[in-house]
Amino acid sequence: MNVLLPRSWLYVPGNKSDLVKKASNGSADAIVIDFEDAVLTADKPVARSQLIHHVELLKAQNKLIAVRVNGPKELLDQDLEVLRTCVPDYLILPKVESPSQIQYVVDQMKGFDTRIIGLIESPIGVLNAPLIAQSHKNLVALSIGSEDLSFEMQMQPCWDSLYVSSMQVNIACKAAGILCIGYIGSIAEFRELDRFKLSVERSAPLGFLGGFAIHPAQVAILNEVFTPSGTEIELARRIVKEFSAAQNESKGAIAVDGKMVDLPVARRAQQLLERFGHLFD
């Protein structure tokens, strides 16, 4: 499925070719080849050496490709050296706490115009999110790393504990004009799928766009929740059409299906169509 904005990002260990191949045939919109937490230090060279093969495999299946690099400078530099020979669609930078970390990656990847996603995984990162979000044009999104942040905050990764920090990052993203990827909850919920789905369903209306997964069962939920229904698309089309006609008659607000439609409502409908309308053509 050709999705302009990924609904689901599936993490796959970069040293596990069998899992990458399996993911290439799965339903995730984007595959995250992981060099960081999912790969032991001794296996990281293997992950790097297989990157070109994995990228070719995923491109053949029209998958969007991201690579999560390591945070420590020595490991990061080794990762970036490989990425300069095989540039993915996105580079995911973990444990971002300051704009300087984004700038460092931009400088190291100069000439490649790499799209960067920053992971906010500490209290300092949350507090600095407004500065980070506006740090560079190559930064296209931020996301909360719920497990690491919860550890740093000495709390359980759940809706109540993560809500405030998640919304702080979300607001920072919106103010900077970039995306906020994720949901308010734990990525580790791959067996308690009802709980996982509830977290995603509660997060989607708050402006979060797509989410990360560690298991294919989570991917199905992300795709379902972050895809509008045919009814929603049809309503959005009517709103845009009828509001456009009303503006030509110098009307500032109209009613559609018994609800008021003014400029902000019409703009939300137009935004929905721009993101997902092509799926329903």
Q: Is 121 annotated as a binding residue?
A: yes
156, with CB counted inside 10 A (0-12, 13-18, 19+), is: exposed
Whether the CB-CB separation of 109 and 91 falls below 8 Å is answered with: yes
Backbone angles phi, psi at 273, to 5 degrees: -65, -40
Distance CA 198, CA 184 (A): 10
68, with CB counted inside 10 A (0-12, 13-18, 19+), is: buried
Q: Residue 71 is encoded by which pair of tokens? A: 């945070």
Rg (CA), the chain: 20
Q: Residue 114 is encoded by which pair of tokens? A: 């790499």
Whether the CB-CB separation of 71 and 36 falls below 8 Å is answered with: yes
Q: Is 195 annotated as a binding residue?
A: no
H helices, E strands: number in the chain: 13, 10
Q: Is 68 annotated as a binding residue?
A: yes
**CA angle, 201 as apex, 257 and 255 as ends, to 5°?**
15
The amino acid that residue 6 corresponds to is P
Binding residues: 68, 121, 148
Binding residues for Mg(2+): 121, 148
Binding residues for substrate: 68, 121
